[in-house]
Structure 1
Amino acid sequence: MPIISVKNLNVSLNSHRILESISFDINQGEITAIIGPNGSGKTTLLKALLGLTPYTGDIKIFNSTPRKLHEIAHKIGYVPQRLEFDRTIPMTIKELFSLHLLKGQTEDSILKTLDLVRARHLIDKRVGILSGGEFQRIILALALLNDPELLLLDEPSSNVDAEGVMEFYSLIKELRAKKNLTILLVSHDIDVVYKYATSVLCVSHKLLCHASPSEALTTETLERLYGKHQKFFAHENNGHV
């Protein structure tokens, strides 16, 4: 049984169709990347899965619907594209995590979670002095605190430098193997998607493809998705240029 099953998903805003007739399944242990141009519905898709935006069609996550998300919330970790958090607040990482502890969790739970993202050394640092890469690892750790089975990540490396991006996605791949996580992420970085994803959803209001990176990231598919004026970089094992 798929972890996520979507059938004929439609989302409209002010009579404007954002997503149309989207259907796909995601199986346990996959790293699935959602790619597409700006404004194509990628973030809206994640929000529909989380029950954060109205939709029609059928969505099942762990065989439950987003409208009953409270029943499975502990199984899902979410890193939004923009986190509304005032980094000028004089708060340490330990204090930040303490606000999110569930009953029975202790400081040891915090340390074990920080270890997963190689950030134990940051526990006593103030949030406001962290680099972009450090802050993103902390946000990832928060999403992992309750030991989820599914991670939803919306452009998780958007505020990270080039070196940090590869380090971040290497960590994601490591977590997938270590925790048997299923991961669905939005990314604009085709190189990252090709290297780390196991499958790709090509979204431009409709679903243009759902395939492996080598099948999805071809020049033909990328031109359909982004337009022929875009330039792409070649990889050894596929055809996009």
Structure 2
Amino acid sequence: MLRPDTLILVSLGFGLLLLWRRRFGAGRAVLGLVLIALLALSLTPLAPRAMARLEAAYPVPAIEGRPVAGIVVLGGGEEPTISVARAQPTVNEAGDRFLAVLAVVRRFPEAPVLFTGGSGRIHPAAIPEANVAAALLLRAGLDPSRLILEDASRTTAENARLAVELVPDRPGNWVLVTSAFHMRRAVATFCAAGWRGILPYPVDFRTAPGFRASPGLPENLGLLTLFLHEVLGLAVYRASGLAADPLPEGCLAG
């Protein structure tokens, strides 16, 4: 997918090229559209509001006292290449997934923790995301006997399919931990893969509830990129049968 910031730069270059070739009318029109897009992203809360709606798909559940059979954590909060280069496990802006899962595992000390994540990049990282996750969780005190690692997946669809294969017999409710903006696609994908009794536990929120002023162009471009990636990804998954629509009965925990 072409990122919004890349699209703006390409459009800017195209507009300047038109001016250089003396096609002044078309060049001014393209540059005018670029200016309007920049102003809209800089001065309006369109991107934060769109992201907030995506993040609101599933509220953070009250899990105290609920029967939990296991915990599933999706990869994406790790930096494998930096972790190898610096010889220490390193997280990125989605590292809240680890803070959340550590809090959940302490509430349910008998529940196994299934981490699913290989390499989501075109060029494979030096080590799988699962290796970094294991180092982080074990350093934080997680009992190694509770940890189940899946280190071959590259996409959300593969996360779901390979997780189901690793835990074919999974009665009860399983907490699903991932970023709030990713939760809608993750739930639909896990349901399509045959998982049942999912208890969505969104973390790593990028917006605050209610109205607020636009945070500025760089932040808005980042939010818009994430929003478009998730919305288009969910549409493609649904069209290809990788995401359930609607969710089948029993997919979500009661």
TM-score, length of structure 1 as denominator length: 0.25
The structure that is helix-richer by fraction is 2
TM-score, length of structure 2 as denominator length: 0.24
- Which structure: larger Rg? 2
The structure that is strand-richer by fraction is 1
